[in-house]
Amino acid sequence: MKVVRTIKEIREALAPCRPSKTVGLVPTMGYFHVGHLSLMAHARKECDLVVTSLFVNPTQFGQGEDFESYPRDEKRDFKLARDAGVDIIFTPGADEMYEDDFGFYVQAPEELTNRLCGASRPGHFQGVATVVTKLFNIIQPQRAYFGQKDLQQLVVIKRMVKDLNQPVEVVGLPIIREADGLALSSRNVYLSPDERHNALALYQTLRFGRELLDKGLRNTEELKTRMKEFLKTQNSGIRLDYLEVLNVENLSTPKTLAGSIALAGAIWLGKTRLIDNIILEV
């Protein structure tokens, strides 16, 4: 596996592969877990050449968020990526991606970003859309792989690719969970044992919502209220950011609960913010 840190070098490394080889990109912020590795494994199966980007992108973090403390372990990540069959790791410094006079940003539509994580993290999706566009331009993959755990990010990126005619196929892949159901996340490493225990309440609440749907509940507001009440009964160590019922296609609030529906939530455990969702066909 080749480790590449500059745009010039990655362009040179990929030039001989074009146009005959299929290049797959797995964009990440590192500190790999099995969720990341599952994206790499899918890319490995479907593409001739697998590139993983490892870049903790400063423009998607707000003031006071965890950019500085975000977990990093390059050596461990390189080993895991190599074992997953990655051909090239692209891990630029912030100066390489954002020169001093950098000034262009990609703005995601308001109706996709004024809710959920976008409401709690103003500017976040502008940072994500901008860096993902830069990665697409630098690496020019035919396919790019993203996790369904970051559902709003996946919807924003699919819409960006469509609206801006970016020549890449976006592949969304299922959430990988711990044995007890907690969604894998690099930020799980921040949790104390108590917080780790309490964190499971989010997934349990989403499952409770799914059970209510299975039993025939079809009123969006009632479903949300029942889920919030359930979360409160679970434990007190959690601060709710949001708990929502959504149409998967466009993240709008469904008037009638039919088709592809997502139950999505974000919670705070101390200083750690975790997200999760369940998608189901109603």
Ligand X SMILES: Nc1ncnc2c1ncn2[C@@H]1O[C@H](COP(=O)(O)OP(=O)(O)OP(=O)(O)O)[C@@H](O)[C@H]1O
Which stretches of the chain bind ligand BAL, using CB under 6 A?
Answer: 29, 60, 150
Q: Applying CB under 6 A, which of residues 52, 60, 113, 272 lies at the interface with ligand PAF? A: 60
Q: Applying CB under 6 A, which of residues 39, 132, 151, 269 lies at the interface with ligand PAF? A: 132
Q: Applying CB under 6 A, which of residues 90, 125, 136, 146 lies at the interface with ligand X? A: 146
What sign for the dihedral angle of Cα 256, 257, 258, 262? positive
Residue type, 34: V
How far apart CA 191 and CA 174 sit, in angstroms, is: 23
Per the document, the length of the chain is 282
Q: Applying CB under 6 A, which of residues 4, 23, 29, 84 lies at the interface with ligand PAF? A: 29
What are the angstrom distances between the C-alpha of 150 and each of 11, 229, 236, 261? Answer: 28, 24, 25, 15
Q: Write out the H or E segment, with its range, that includes residue 35.
A: helix 34-46
What sign for the dihedral angle of Cα 225, 228, 230, 232? negative
Smallest gap, in angstroms, from Cβ of residue 39 to ligand PAF?
A: 10
Residues 6+ apart with CB under 8 A from 152: 112, 113, 116, 117, 118, 125, 251, 264
Site string for ligand X, 173-212 (x = CB under 6 A): --xx------xxxxx-------------------------
Q: Which stretch binds ligand PAF (CB under 6 A): 71-79, 124-132, 216-224, 241-249?
A: 124-132
Selection from ligand BAL, ligand X, ligand PAF, none that 132 binds (CB < 5 to 8 A by kind) is ligand PAF
**Cβ atoms within 10 Å, residue 32:** 23
Judged by CB, which is closer to ligand X: 93, or 258? 93
Which residues lie near ligand X (CB under 6 A)?
28-29, 35-36, 38-39, 146-147, 149-150, 175-176, 183-187
